[in-house]
Amino acid sequence: MTEPATNRKHLILDAACQAIARTGAAAVRVADVAREAGVSTALVHYYFPARADVILAAFGHADDMADAVAEEQMATLATGRERVERLILVWAGDDPAIRTNWAVWNEMWQYAAHNDAARAMVADSHGRWLEQVAGLIAEGTAEGSIPATVNVDAAARRLAACVDDWGRETLIGMRTPAGMRAALAAATAHELGPVRRARGRAA
Amino acid sequence: MTEPATNRKHLILDAACQAIARTGAAAVRVADVAREAGVSTALVHYYFPARADVILAAFGHADDMADAVAEEQMATLATGRERVERLILVWAGDDPAIRTNWAVWNEMWQYAAHNDAARAMVADSHGRWLEQVAGLIAEGTAEGSIPATVNVDAAARRLAACVDDWGRETLIGMRTPAGMRAALAAATAHELGPVRRARGRAA
DNA sequence: GGGTATCCTGACTGATCAGTCAGTCAGCCT
DNA sequence: AGGCTGACTGACTGATCAGTCAGGATACCC
């Protein structure tokens, strides 16, 4: 969504993500995507036979971006706990690109309620996200930065639910990103117990 | 959504809810609503000048239903804790009417991302729902069925997030209603502490 | 009976939009 | 040069859909 598109296909997908974030997937017209990309509607159909193909490809595109961002954000962090905390906060950032990506992700969920292909994408993507959170929590308990008493899977699911739900509230304007970050930090602390040094003194 | 509509306006709103639940608000055509209700499209326009008016009225209609259902479900329960537990589980029920209502509520959220009127409805409705949960938890702590150490507002928000998010997963078919009920029961127990008799022995 | 208000309809219209098509143009191969 | 291909466009078409309109039916009142 940020780096300049090298080819037209990529450019069209960036444009589609912008359009989806702005008006919602259901309201996006092929002409909107074409205009946003500075291209003819015929070219959009040249790369993507049907409208639905553009939308689905844009969802996949946004999903790839999300993976890359998450990867990058956690690269420098040492403990599992730090990585969980960061991962939970990534999508509450103020960066417009983050917001766009989040909006597209949200649209993908909605689209999935009435479209089988999108449903498969969401199931896969959401599953990976849950596994990632649970994996990091497990790392934390193994290394001692998170208490061993934490139920890894249940905590991961509850935290993921908070991210999803509060993210949606933020998208609609019922919260500020800063408010969301504060609430998420509190929820993380509540789930993972008080912060302590890795391999620190027992509870 | 269940009781037979006495007048045509009511009938049209029921039909609109069904159509919204089935295909999503964005894809609902005035003709779909008319067909579902067994009336002409002109009659739909007679009661609701524009398509958007039907959709918004249907959202309000579903919201009223939801309040009534919640009220009814909790009527016979004694303690705050019991009422919280029931309220959390209401929307994970197997009844098709519950599912329809939930689907419409979900569509309302999505619609709100791009429509000011819907946004106001969601903000109001969601606020009342949060207050209701928090109020019941507070009752529980006051009467002793819930430990006084529970942070009322934070717990209410986290539980509400689980209901919203897992409900959406269920709607898409990523969970069964029974699985959702089990997860919600576990989350409630996690938030409110172990079940104990009202006014029971201290922690 | 005549007047009129409410509820309701079928038939229509104008706008919008996905998708097609014939054809242009730049680059590349021989 | 000439021929071919892949990228790209403007103009068009057929379908869909929201919203209108003129009028029909029923009921109630005078």
Tens-digit pLDDT profile for residues A67-111:
999 999 988 998 989 999 999 999 999 999 999 999 999 999 999
Q: What is the pLDDT of residue B18?
A: 97
Biggest alpha carbon distance in chain A?
A: 65
Distance A25 CA to C24 C1' (A): 33
Q: Considering all nucleic acid strands, name the nucleotide whose C1' atom is nearest to the C-alpha of residue B48.
A: D19
DSSP H helices, B41-115, are 41-47, 51-74, 80-90, 96-112
A54: left (phi over 0), alpha (psi -120 to 50) or beta: alpha
Q: Residue B128's pLDDT band (boundaries 50, 70, 90)?
A: very high
Cβ B198 vs Cβ B143: under 8 Å? yes
CA distance B153 to A182: 14
**pLDDT digits 0-9 by tens, A134-188:** 999 999 999 999 999 999 999 999 999 999 999 999 999 999 999 999 999 999 9
A1 confidence band (pLDDT: 50, 70, 90): very low
Residue type, B114: H
Q: Which run of H or E residues covers position A51?
A: helix A51-74
Q: How much is the pTM?
A: 0.90
* Spatial distance between the Cα atoms of A138 and A148, rounded to a whole number of angstroms: 9
User: Which residue matches tokens 């239903």?
Assistant: B65
- Chain-chain contact of B154 with A119 (C-beta, under 8 angstroms): no
At residue B80, the pLDDT reads: 87
* Interface with chain B: mutation pick from A51, A165, A190, highest number of B CBs within 10 Å: A165
Closest CA of chain A from B6, distance in Å: 31
| Chain A contact probe: residue of B104, B105, B151, B165 with most A CBs at under 10 A | B165
Q: How far is CA A172 from CA A63, A102, A187, in A?
A: 21, 12, 21
Chain B interface with A: residues with Cβ < 8 Å:
23-24, 26-27, 103, 106-107, 109-110, 112-114, 119, 122-123, 126, 154, 157-158, 160-162, 164-166, 168-169, 171-174, 183, 186-187, 190
Cα B38 to the center of its chain, rounded Å: 27
Mean pLDDT (whole number) for A17-33 = 96
Contact B146, B134 (CB under 8 A): no
Tell me how far CA of residue B201 lies from CA of B55, B98, B145, in angstroms. 52, 38, 10
Classify the phi-psi angles of B151: left when phi > 0, otherwise alpha if psi is within -120 to 50, otherwise beta: beta
Instruction: Count other C-beta atoms under 10 Å from residue B3's C-beta.
Output: 8
